[in-house]
Structure 1
Amino acid sequence: MQLLPLQNPNSRPFLPGTSFRNRSSPNTSLKSPKKLSLKCRRSEFFQQQNFTRPSESSFSPQSPAALPPRVYVGHSIYKGKAALTIEPKAPEFVPLDSGAIKLAKEGFVLLQFAPAVGTRQYDWNRKQVFSLSVTEIGTIMSLGAKDSCEFFHDPFKGKSEEGKIRKILKAEPLPDGSGHFFNLSVQNRLLNVDESIYIPVTKAEYTVLISAFNFILPYLLGWHAFANSVKPEDPSRSNSANPRSGADFEWGR
Protein backbone atom coordinates (compact mmCIF):
# COMPACT_ATOMS: atom_id res chain seq x y z
CA MET A 1 0.00 0.00 0.00
CA GLN A 2 1.33 3.41 -0.94
CA LEU A 3 1.27 6.20 1.65
CA LEU A 4 0.35 9.65 0.42
CA PRO A 5 1.80 12.73 2.11
CA LEU A 6 -0.58 14.92 4.07
CA GLN A 7 -1.37 18.20 2.46
CA ASN A 8 -1.65 21.52 4.26
CA PRO A 9 -5.24 22.74 3.93
CA ASN A 10 -3.95 26.29 3.61
CA SER A 11 -1.69 25.36 0.81
CA ARG A 12 -2.67 25.77 -2.76
CA PRO A 13 -1.91 23.35 -5.50
CA PHE A 14 1.02 24.22 -7.64
CA LEU A 15 -0.03 25.63 -10.95
CA PRO A 16 2.12 26.35 -13.93
CA GLY A 17 3.46 29.85 -13.82
CA THR A 18 3.48 30.12 -10.01
CA SER A 19 6.70 30.50 -8.07
CA PHE A 20 8.07 28.25 -5.38
CA ARG A 21 7.54 30.67 -2.45
CA ASN A 22 6.82 29.39 1.00
CA ARG A 23 3.58 30.98 2.19
CA SER A 24 4.26 30.31 5.88
CA SER A 25 7.40 32.43 5.64
CA PRO A 26 6.69 35.13 3.10
CA ASN A 27 10.16 36.64 3.51
CA THR A 28 11.88 33.36 2.90
CA SER A 29 12.11 32.03 -0.67
CA LEU A 30 13.22 28.67 -1.84
CA LYS A 31 16.53 28.47 -3.46
CA SER A 32 16.14 28.19 -7.21
CA PRO A 33 17.37 24.85 -8.51
CA LYS A 34 20.57 24.74 -10.45
CA LYS A 35 20.18 24.76 -14.17
CA LEU A 36 21.19 21.49 -15.70
CA SER A 37 22.35 21.13 -19.24
CA LEU A 38 22.30 18.02 -21.40
CA LYS A 39 24.79 17.53 -24.18
CA CYS A 40 24.32 14.93 -26.89
CA ARG A 41 27.29 13.43 -28.64
CA ARG A 42 27.23 11.55 -31.87
CA SER A 43 28.29 8.01 -31.80
CA GLU A 44 31.78 7.50 -33.09
CA PHE A 45 30.34 4.96 -35.51
CA PHE A 46 28.26 7.58 -37.28
CA GLN A 47 31.14 10.01 -37.27
CA GLN A 48 33.24 7.51 -39.15
CA GLN A 49 30.62 6.66 -41.75
CA ASN A 50 30.55 10.08 -43.45
CA PHE A 51 26.85 9.97 -44.20
CA THR A 52 25.40 12.60 -46.51
CA ARG A 53 21.86 13.72 -47.01
CA PRO A 54 20.44 12.43 -50.30
CA SER A 55 19.79 15.13 -52.83
CA GLU A 56 17.92 15.24 -56.09
CA SER A 57 21.17 14.64 -57.97
CA SER A 58 21.53 11.31 -56.16
CA PHE A 59 18.49 9.97 -57.96
CA SER A 60 19.13 11.53 -61.34
CA PRO A 61 20.42 9.39 -64.23
CA GLN A 62 24.18 9.04 -64.45
CA SER A 63 25.91 11.60 -66.56
CA PRO A 64 28.04 10.40 -69.48
CA ALA A 65 31.18 11.28 -67.51
CA ALA A 66 30.14 8.86 -64.73
CA LEU A 67 29.69 5.90 -67.08
CA PRO A 68 32.63 3.57 -67.66
CA PRO A 69 34.51 4.44 -70.85
CA ARG A 70 34.10 2.25 -73.89
CA VAL A 71 37.30 0.45 -74.81
CA TYR A 72 38.28 -0.41 -78.38
CA VAL A 73 41.00 -2.97 -79.01
CA GLY A 74 42.33 -4.80 -82.01
CA HIS A 75 45.34 -6.46 -83.54
CA SER A 76 46.67 -5.76 -87.03
CA ILE A 77 48.94 -7.61 -89.42
CA TYR A 78 50.52 -5.57 -92.23
CA LYS A 79 51.97 -7.18 -95.33
CA GLY A 80 53.01 -6.00 -98.77
CA LYS A 81 49.69 -6.62 -100.54
CA ALA A 82 47.14 -6.30 -97.75
CA ALA A 83 46.48 -5.60 -94.09
CA LEU A 84 44.37 -7.60 -91.67
CA THR A 85 42.77 -6.23 -88.50
CA ILE A 86 41.09 -8.44 -85.88
CA GLU A 87 38.61 -6.87 -83.44
CA PRO A 88 36.44 -8.60 -80.79
CA LYS A 89 32.78 -7.65 -80.55
CA ALA A 90 30.97 -8.03 -77.23
CA PRO A 91 27.91 -10.25 -76.71
CA GLU A 92 24.45 -8.78 -76.24
CA PHE A 93 22.26 -9.24 -73.17
CA VAL A 94 18.56 -8.56 -72.53
CA PRO A 95 16.82 -7.97 -69.18
CA LEU A 96 14.05 -10.34 -68.08
CA ASP A 97 10.87 -9.51 -66.16
CA SER A 98 12.30 -11.34 -63.15
CA GLY A 99 15.19 -8.85 -62.98
CA ALA A 100 17.73 -11.33 -64.31
CA ILE A 101 19.81 -10.84 -67.46
CA LYS A 102 19.95 -13.32 -70.34
CA LEU A 103 22.40 -13.70 -73.19
CA ALA A 104 20.66 -12.67 -76.41
CA LYS A 105 23.51 -12.91 -78.92
CA GLU A 106 27.00 -14.30 -78.67
CA GLY A 107 29.95 -12.09 -79.44
CA PHE A 108 32.17 -12.54 -82.47
CA VAL A 109 35.49 -11.52 -83.96
CA LEU A 110 35.47 -9.10 -86.88
CA LEU A 111 38.11 -9.53 -89.57
CA GLN A 112 38.84 -6.53 -91.80
CA PHE A 113 40.89 -6.94 -94.98
CA ALA A 114 42.24 -3.86 -96.72
CA PRO A 115 44.19 -3.96 -100.02
CA ALA A 116 47.54 -2.19 -100.33
CA VAL A 117 47.85 0.88 -102.55
CA GLY A 118 51.53 1.53 -101.91
CA THR A 119 54.37 0.82 -99.53
CA ARG A 120 52.81 0.51 -96.07
CA GLN A 121 49.69 2.23 -97.40
CA TYR A 122 46.27 0.59 -97.44
CA ASP A 123 42.88 1.60 -98.78
CA TRP A 124 40.50 1.12 -95.85
CA ASN A 125 37.64 2.54 -97.92
CA ARG A 126 37.77 -0.67 -99.95
CA LYS A 127 38.01 -2.95 -96.95
CA GLN A 128 36.03 -6.18 -96.81
CA VAL A 129 34.81 -7.62 -93.53
CA PHE A 130 34.08 -11.11 -92.29
CA SER A 131 32.58 -12.02 -88.90
CA LEU A 132 33.87 -15.16 -87.20
CA SER A 133 31.43 -16.90 -84.87
CA VAL A 134 32.65 -18.69 -81.75
CA THR A 135 32.44 -22.03 -83.59
CA GLU A 136 34.43 -20.70 -86.55
CA ILE A 137 36.99 -19.29 -84.12
CA GLY A 138 37.32 -22.77 -82.65
CA THR A 139 37.88 -24.21 -86.12
CA ILE A 140 40.74 -21.80 -86.80
CA MET A 141 42.24 -22.49 -83.37
CA SER A 142 42.27 -26.22 -84.06
CA LEU A 143 44.12 -25.99 -87.38
CA GLY A 144 47.37 -27.88 -87.59
CA ALA A 145 50.38 -26.85 -89.61
CA LYS A 146 49.03 -28.65 -92.71
CA ASP A 147 45.29 -28.18 -92.12
CA SER A 148 42.94 -25.85 -93.96
CA CYS A 149 39.37 -24.61 -93.53
CA GLU A 150 36.76 -22.66 -95.46
CA PHE A 151 33.77 -20.58 -94.35
CA PHE A 152 30.86 -19.31 -96.45
CA HIS A 153 28.66 -16.39 -95.40
CA ASP A 154 25.54 -14.92 -96.96
CA PRO A 155 24.31 -11.91 -94.93
CA PHE A 156 20.87 -12.17 -96.57
CA LYS A 157 20.41 -15.90 -96.14
CA GLY A 158 16.73 -16.69 -95.71
CA LYS A 159 15.68 -13.28 -97.05
CA SER A 160 14.58 -11.98 -100.42
CA GLU A 161 18.10 -10.70 -101.16
CA GLU A 162 19.67 -14.12 -100.59
CA GLY A 163 22.58 -14.78 -102.93
CA LYS A 164 23.29 -11.14 -103.74
CA ILE A 165 26.27 -11.05 -101.36
CA ARG A 166 28.60 -14.04 -101.07
CA LYS A 167 31.66 -14.17 -98.83
CA ILE A 168 34.19 -17.01 -98.71
CA LEU A 169 37.08 -17.07 -96.24
CA LYS A 170 39.80 -19.66 -96.69
CA ALA A 171 42.72 -20.49 -94.39
CA GLU A 172 45.31 -22.72 -96.05
CA PRO A 173 48.88 -23.70 -95.10
CA LEU A 174 51.70 -21.95 -96.90
CA PRO A 175 53.72 -24.18 -99.26
CA ASP A 176 56.90 -23.83 -97.21
CA GLY A 177 55.09 -24.58 -93.94
CA SER A 178 55.93 -21.16 -92.48
CA GLY A 179 52.34 -20.29 -91.60
CA HIS A 180 48.87 -19.96 -93.11
CA PHE A 181 47.42 -18.11 -96.03
CA PHE A 182 44.15 -16.17 -95.44
CA ASN A 183 42.05 -15.31 -98.49
CA LEU A 184 38.73 -13.43 -98.46
CA SER A 185 36.63 -13.40 -101.63
CA VAL A 186 33.58 -11.13 -101.79
CA GLN A 187 30.93 -10.94 -104.51
CA ASN A 188 28.48 -8.11 -103.96
CA ARG A 189 25.90 -7.76 -106.73
CA LEU A 190 24.27 -4.82 -105.00
CA LEU A 191 27.43 -2.70 -105.32
CA ASN A 192 28.87 -4.53 -108.35
CA VAL A 193 31.94 -5.62 -106.36
CA ASP A 194 33.99 -8.74 -107.01
CA GLU A 195 37.20 -8.67 -105.02
CA SER A 196 39.67 -11.11 -103.50
CA ILE A 197 42.14 -10.07 -100.80
CA TYR A 198 44.79 -12.41 -99.45
CA ILE A 199 47.46 -12.09 -96.79
CA PRO A 200 50.08 -14.53 -95.45
CA VAL A 201 50.22 -15.08 -91.70
CA THR A 202 53.44 -16.44 -90.21
CA LYS A 203 53.64 -18.99 -87.40
CA ALA A 204 54.48 -16.27 -84.89
CA GLU A 205 51.55 -14.09 -86.01
CA TYR A 206 49.25 -17.09 -86.02
CA THR A 207 50.36 -17.98 -82.48
CA VAL A 208 49.44 -14.47 -81.33
CA LEU A 209 45.99 -14.86 -82.87
CA ILE A 210 45.43 -18.20 -81.17
CA SER A 211 46.49 -16.78 -77.81
CA ALA A 212 44.11 -13.84 -78.23
CA PHE A 213 41.27 -16.16 -79.28
CA ASN A 214 41.88 -18.38 -76.23
CA PHE A 215 41.57 -15.40 -73.93
CA ILE A 216 38.54 -13.71 -75.49
CA LEU A 217 36.42 -16.78 -76.24
CA PRO A 218 34.76 -17.10 -72.78
CA TYR A 219 33.90 -13.39 -72.92
CA LEU A 220 32.28 -13.79 -76.34
CA LEU A 221 30.10 -16.51 -74.78
CA GLY A 222 29.14 -14.16 -71.95
CA TRP A 223 30.44 -16.52 -69.27
CA HIS A 224 32.30 -13.69 -67.53
CA ALA A 225 28.96 -12.03 -66.71
CA PHE A 226 27.72 -15.25 -65.14
CA ALA A 227 30.93 -15.70 -63.15
CA ASN A 228 30.73 -12.15 -61.82
CA SER A 229 27.13 -12.74 -60.68
CA VAL A 230 27.91 -15.86 -58.62
CA LYS A 231 28.01 -15.18 -54.86
CA PRO A 232 28.61 -17.87 -52.21
CA GLU A 233 25.90 -16.46 -49.97
CA ASP A 234 23.28 -16.28 -52.73
CA PRO A 235 20.44 -18.61 -51.60
CA SER A 236 18.89 -18.68 -55.07
CA ARG A 237 21.83 -20.78 -56.29
CA SER A 238 21.56 -23.41 -53.57
CA ASN A 239 20.19 -26.87 -54.27
CA SER A 240 17.13 -26.14 -52.15
CA ALA A 241 16.11 -23.32 -54.47
CA ASN A 242 15.74 -25.71 -57.40
CA PRO A 243 15.61 -29.26 -56.03
CA ARG A 244 14.39 -30.76 -59.32
CA SER A 245 17.15 -29.43 -61.55
CA GLY A 246 18.93 -31.81 -63.89
CA ALA A 247 22.30 -31.01 -62.36
CA ASP A 248 21.14 -32.28 -58.98
CA PHE A 249 20.21 -35.63 -60.44
CA GLU A 250 23.45 -35.84 -62.39
CA TRP A 251 25.81 -35.12 -59.49
CA GLY A 252 23.66 -36.93 -56.94
CA ARG A 253 24.26 -40.33 -58.49
Structure 2
Amino acid sequence: MTALNKYQNQKRILVAVDCIIFGYDGEQLKILLIKRAMEPQKDQWSLMGGFIEPNENLYGAAERILFNSTGLKKVYLEQLKSFGDPQRDPMERTISVAYFALIDINKYREQISDTHHAEWFLVQEAPKLIFDHDEMVEKAKRRIRYKAAFHPILFELLPKKFTIPQLQNLYEQVYNAKIDNRNFIRKVNSTGLLIKLAEKDKSSSKRGAFYYELDMNKYRAKFQSFINFIPNPENFIL
Protein backbone atom coordinates (compact mmCIF):
# COMPACT_ATOMS: atom_id res chain seq x y z
CA MET A 1 0.00 0.00 0.00
CA THR A 2 1.39 3.37 -0.96
CA ALA A 3 1.52 6.26 1.48
CA LEU A 4 -1.16 8.05 -0.55
CA ASN A 5 -3.54 5.10 -0.35
CA LYS A 6 -2.91 4.78 3.38
CA TYR A 7 -3.90 8.42 3.89
CA GLN A 8 -6.97 8.03 1.68
CA ASN A 9 -8.16 4.98 3.63
CA GLN A 10 -8.17 6.84 6.94
CA LYS A 11 -11.46 8.10 8.34
CA ARG A 12 -11.59 11.90 8.49
CA ILE A 13 -11.87 13.37 12.00
CA LEU A 14 -12.97 16.93 12.73
CA VAL A 15 -10.78 19.22 14.81
CA ALA A 16 -12.35 22.06 16.79
CA VAL A 17 -11.14 24.78 19.15
CA ASP A 18 -13.03 25.81 22.31
CA CYS A 19 -12.19 29.01 24.20
CA ILE A 20 -12.63 29.38 27.96
CA ILE A 21 -12.75 33.08 28.84
CA PHE A 22 -12.16 34.17 32.43
CA GLY A 23 -12.61 37.80 33.42
CA TYR A 24 -12.26 39.95 36.53
CA ASP A 25 -14.27 43.15 37.07
CA GLY A 26 -12.30 44.36 40.09
CA GLU A 27 -14.52 42.48 42.52
CA GLN A 28 -15.64 39.15 41.05
CA LEU A 29 -14.03 36.40 38.96
CA LYS A 30 -16.32 35.46 36.07
CA ILE A 31 -16.58 33.24 32.98
CA LEU A 32 -18.04 34.28 29.62
CA LEU A 33 -20.56 31.88 28.03
CA ILE A 34 -22.87 31.79 25.03
CA LYS A 35 -25.96 29.78 24.12
CA ARG A 36 -25.42 27.09 21.49
CA ALA A 37 -27.05 28.13 18.20
CA MET A 38 -27.72 24.65 16.76
CA GLU A 39 -28.80 21.15 17.63
CA PRO A 40 -27.98 19.04 19.51
CA GLN A 41 -28.45 20.92 22.81
CA LYS A 42 -29.52 24.11 21.06
CA ASP A 43 -29.95 27.10 23.42
CA GLN A 44 -27.88 25.39 26.13
CA TRP A 45 -24.92 27.25 27.63
CA SER A 46 -21.61 26.64 25.92
CA LEU A 47 -18.03 27.78 25.55
CA MET A 48 -17.08 29.66 22.38
CA GLY A 49 -16.06 27.12 19.78
CA GLY A 50 -15.64 26.34 16.11
CA PHE A 51 -13.78 24.19 13.61
CA ILE A 52 -10.24 24.77 12.39
CA GLU A 53 -9.97 25.96 8.82
CA PRO A 54 -7.50 24.31 6.39
CA ASN A 55 -5.24 27.35 6.13
CA GLU A 56 -4.76 28.18 9.83
CA ASN A 57 -2.85 26.82 12.80
CA LEU A 58 -4.38 26.07 16.20
CA TYR A 59 -3.56 29.43 17.78
CA GLY A 60 -4.83 31.29 14.74
CA ALA A 61 -8.08 29.33 14.91
CA ALA A 62 -8.45 30.16 18.60
CA GLU A 63 -7.91 33.87 17.90
CA ARG A 64 -10.44 33.83 15.05
CA ILE A 65 -13.09 31.94 17.02
CA LEU A 66 -12.61 34.22 20.02
CA PHE A 67 -12.98 37.32 17.85
CA ASN A 68 -15.96 36.01 15.85
CA SER A 69 -17.80 34.90 18.99
CA THR A 70 -17.13 37.89 21.22
CA GLY A 71 -15.28 40.64 19.34
CA LEU A 72 -12.27 40.16 21.64
CA LYS A 73 -8.73 40.33 20.30
CA LYS A 74 -5.19 40.79 21.63
CA VAL A 75 -5.94 39.10 24.96
CA TYR A 76 -3.93 36.60 27.01
CA LEU A 77 -4.63 33.25 25.31
CA GLU A 78 -3.00 29.92 26.18
CA GLN A 79 -3.53 26.35 25.00
CA LEU A 80 -4.89 24.09 27.72
CA LYS A 81 -5.09 20.54 26.31
CA SER A 82 -6.85 18.34 23.77
CA PHE A 83 -10.09 16.47 24.43
CA GLY A 84 -10.62 13.39 22.27
CA ASP A 85 -13.22 11.08 23.80
CA PRO A 86 -14.91 9.37 20.80
CA GLN A 87 -18.34 10.13 22.29
CA ARG A 88 -17.72 13.76 23.28
CA ASP A 89 -19.69 15.16 20.32
CA PRO A 90 -22.87 13.19 19.44
CA MET A 91 -22.95 14.54 15.87
CA GLU A 92 -19.49 13.66 14.59
CA ARG A 93 -16.14 12.31 15.77
CA THR A 94 -14.48 15.53 16.88
CA ILE A 95 -11.27 16.33 18.71
CA SER A 96 -11.29 19.68 20.51
CA VAL A 97 -8.24 21.71 21.49
CA ALA A 98 -9.14 23.98 24.40
CA TYR A 99 -7.62 27.42 25.05
CA PHE A 100 -8.18 29.75 27.99
CA ALA A 101 -8.15 33.54 27.96
CA LEU A 102 -7.68 36.00 30.85
CA ILE A 103 -9.11 39.52 30.56
CA ASP A 104 -9.94 42.62 32.55
CA ILE A 105 -13.73 42.80 32.06
CA ASN A 106 -13.90 46.59 32.36
CA LYS A 107 -11.24 47.05 29.70
CA TYR A 108 -13.10 44.92 27.14
CA ARG A 109 -16.72 45.53 28.20
CA GLU A 110 -17.61 47.64 25.14
CA GLN A 111 -15.61 45.42 22.78
CA ILE A 112 -17.61 42.25 23.49
CA SER A 113 -19.99 41.59 20.60
CA ASP A 114 -23.73 41.07 21.13
CA THR A 115 -23.97 38.77 18.09
CA HIS A 116 -23.93 35.58 20.16
CA HIS A 117 -25.46 37.15 23.30
CA ALA A 118 -22.41 36.33 25.42
CA GLU A 119 -23.09 36.59 29.14
CA TRP A 120 -20.83 36.77 32.19
CA PHE A 121 -21.40 34.37 35.10
CA LEU A 122 -19.68 34.15 38.46
CA VAL A 123 -17.28 31.21 38.17
CA GLN A 124 -18.82 29.51 41.20
CA GLU A 125 -22.37 29.96 39.84
CA ALA A 126 -21.94 29.06 36.16
CA PRO A 127 -24.67 26.91 34.61
CA LYS A 128 -24.13 23.37 33.34
CA LEU A 129 -22.47 23.37 29.91
CA ILE A 130 -22.85 21.18 26.82
CA PHE A 131 -20.76 18.13 25.96
CA ASP A 132 -17.50 18.00 27.97
CA HIS A 133 -17.23 21.78 28.41
CA ASP A 134 -17.60 21.57 32.19
CA GLU A 135 -14.53 19.30 32.25
CA MET A 136 -12.65 21.83 30.14
CA VAL A 137 -13.50 24.62 32.58
CA GLU A 138 -12.37 22.56 35.59
CA LYS A 139 -9.08 21.70 33.86
CA ALA A 140 -8.57 25.37 33.02
CA LYS A 141 -9.18 26.46 36.62
CA ARG A 142 -6.62 23.94 37.89
CA ARG A 143 -4.07 25.01 35.28
CA ILE A 144 -4.50 28.69 36.19
CA ARG A 145 -4.15 27.93 39.91
CA TYR A 146 -0.96 26.00 39.28
CA LYS A 147 0.58 28.59 36.96
CA ALA A 148 -0.43 31.57 39.10
CA ALA A 149 1.61 30.15 41.99
CA PHE A 150 4.80 30.57 39.94
CA HIS A 151 4.02 33.08 37.17
CA PRO A 152 2.28 36.48 37.39
CA ILE A 153 -0.46 35.57 34.89
CA LEU A 154 -3.27 36.92 37.10
CA PHE A 155 -2.09 40.47 36.40
CA GLU A 156 -3.67 39.94 32.95
CA LEU A 157 -7.04 40.14 34.71
CA LEU A 158 -6.37 43.49 36.37
CA PRO A 159 -6.82 47.07 35.10
CA LYS A 160 -3.76 49.21 34.37
CA LYS A 161 -3.88 50.64 37.89
CA PHE A 162 -5.10 48.56 40.82
CA THR A 163 -4.90 48.30 44.59
CA ILE A 164 -3.29 45.59 46.70
CA PRO A 165 -6.72 44.63 48.13
CA GLN A 166 -7.98 44.13 44.58
CA LEU A 167 -5.01 41.92 43.78
CA GLN A 168 -5.41 39.89 46.96
CA ASN A 169 -9.15 39.50 46.37
CA LEU A 170 -8.40 38.15 42.89
CA TYR A 171 -5.96 35.55 44.24
CA GLU A 172 -8.44 34.51 46.92
CA GLN A 173 -11.17 34.00 44.33
CA VAL A 174 -8.95 32.05 41.96
CA TYR A 175 -7.87 29.71 44.79
CA ASN A 176 -11.20 29.85 46.63
CA ALA A 177 -9.23 30.35 49.85
CA LYS A 178 -8.41 33.08 52.36
CA ILE A 179 -4.85 34.44 52.14
CA ASP A 180 -3.03 36.04 55.08
CA ASN A 181 -3.03 39.79 54.43
CA ARG A 182 0.40 40.73 55.83
CA ASN A 183 2.15 37.77 54.26
CA PHE A 184 0.58 38.56 50.89
CA ILE A 185 1.64 42.21 51.00
CA ARG A 186 5.19 41.24 51.97
CA LYS A 187 5.49 38.78 49.09
CA VAL A 188 3.99 41.20 46.57
CA ASN A 189 6.41 43.96 47.57
CA SER A 190 9.37 41.59 47.42
CA THR A 191 8.76 40.87 43.73
CA GLY A 192 9.68 44.41 42.67
CA LEU A 193 7.02 44.16 39.97
CA LEU A 194 4.80 46.97 41.22
CA ILE A 195 5.10 50.74 40.88
CA LYS A 196 3.33 52.65 43.68
CA LEU A 197 1.32 55.64 42.48
CA ALA A 198 0.44 58.81 44.40
CA GLU A 199 -3.26 58.37 43.64
CA LYS A 200 -5.56 56.51 46.03
CA ASP A 201 -8.80 54.60 45.66
CA LYS A 202 -11.15 55.99 48.32
CA SER A 203 -14.30 54.17 47.21
CA SER A 204 -14.17 51.76 50.17
CA SER A 205 -12.78 53.98 52.95
CA LYS A 206 -11.76 57.56 53.74
CA ARG A 207 -8.17 56.47 54.26
CA GLY A 208 -8.13 54.79 50.87
CA ALA A 209 -5.70 52.37 49.26
CA PHE A 210 -2.82 53.39 47.01
CA TYR A 211 -3.01 52.45 43.36
CA TYR A 212 -0.20 50.44 41.78
CA GLU A 213 0.91 49.79 38.23
CA LEU A 214 2.76 46.81 36.87
CA ASP A 215 6.38 47.43 35.82
CA MET A 216 6.08 45.84 32.37
CA ASN A 217 9.83 45.46 31.85
CA LYS A 218 10.22 43.52 35.10
CA TYR A 219 6.97 41.64 34.38
CA ARG A 220 8.36 40.27 31.13
CA ALA A 221 11.76 39.52 32.67
CA LYS A 222 10.32 37.69 35.70
CA PHE A 223 7.45 35.89 33.99
CA GLN A 224 9.23 32.54 34.12
CA SER A 225 10.78 33.01 37.57
CA PHE A 226 7.99 34.30 39.75
CA ILE A 227 7.71 34.04 43.51
CA ASN A 228 5.42 31.39 44.98
CA PHE A 229 2.41 33.14 46.53
CA ILE A 230 0.55 29.92 47.26
CA PRO A 231 1.59 27.22 49.73
CA ASN A 232 1.69 23.64 48.40
CA PRO A 233 1.14 24.50 44.72
CA GLU A 234 1.69 20.84 43.85
CA ASN A 235 -1.91 20.33 45.00
CA PHE A 236 -3.00 22.14 41.86
CA ILE A 237 -1.91 19.59 39.28
CA LEU A 238 -1.91 20.26 35.55
TM superposition score category, shorter chain reference:
under 0.3
| TM-score, with length taken from structure 2 | 0.21
| TM-score, with length taken from structure 1 | 0.20
Higher relative contact order (CA 8 A, sep 6+): 2
Rg larger for: 1
